């Protein structure tokens, strides 16, 4: 989200949208992995075994990044790799337009989508 904020400050709206999308996707992936891990620990039911797995999980943050040897979280690698960021921005903008056209959505969501379209 810091990257999205900086891109907005630089008025690079396509990059801001891409950065926001990356952050949201990383959160979704982290939540999915956390849910899987919790379900797995619950199924095992053995407290000692669950404690051992929790110790291993501490080397990774919830988004799957290596904590490193000095406790630093994060990575310098790009999350999208070589994916075309402009194509991704266009895809996201098309999806926002599609959703804004669905009149059965709640008014608050439609207002938010319209504000996004006005801005980008």
The pLDDT-based confidence of 96 (bands split at 50, 70, 90) is very high
37 touches 74 (CB < 8 A): no
pTM value > 0.85: no
Annotated domain spans of the chain: 1-78, 84-120
Show Cβ contacts of residue 111 under 8 Å, excluding neighbours closer than 6 positions. none
pLDDT digits (tens, 9 = 90+) for 53-94: 555 545 666 666 666 655 555 555 555 556 678 888 888 999
Please state, in angstroms and rounded to a whole number, the distance separating the CA atoms of residues 95 and 101: 10
**Beta-bridge partners for 66:** 60
Of 49 and 64, more confident: 64
Tokens of 79: 């999350």
């Amino acid at each position: 989200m810091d990257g999205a904020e900086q891109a907005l400050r630089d008025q690079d709206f396509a990059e801001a949208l891409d950065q926001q999308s990356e952050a949201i996707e990383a959160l979704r992936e982290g939540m999915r992995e956390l849910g899987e891990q919790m379900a797995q620990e619950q199924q095992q039911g053995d407290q000692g075994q669950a404690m051992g797995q929790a110790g291993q999980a501490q080397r990774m943050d919830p988004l799957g990044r290596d904590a490193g040897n000095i406790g630093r979280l994060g990575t310098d690698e790009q999350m999208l790799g070589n994916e075309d960021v402009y194509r991704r921005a266009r895809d996201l903008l098309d999806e926002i337009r599609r959703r804004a056209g669905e009149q059965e959505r709640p008014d608050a969501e439609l207002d938010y989508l319209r504000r996004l379209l006005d801005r980008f």
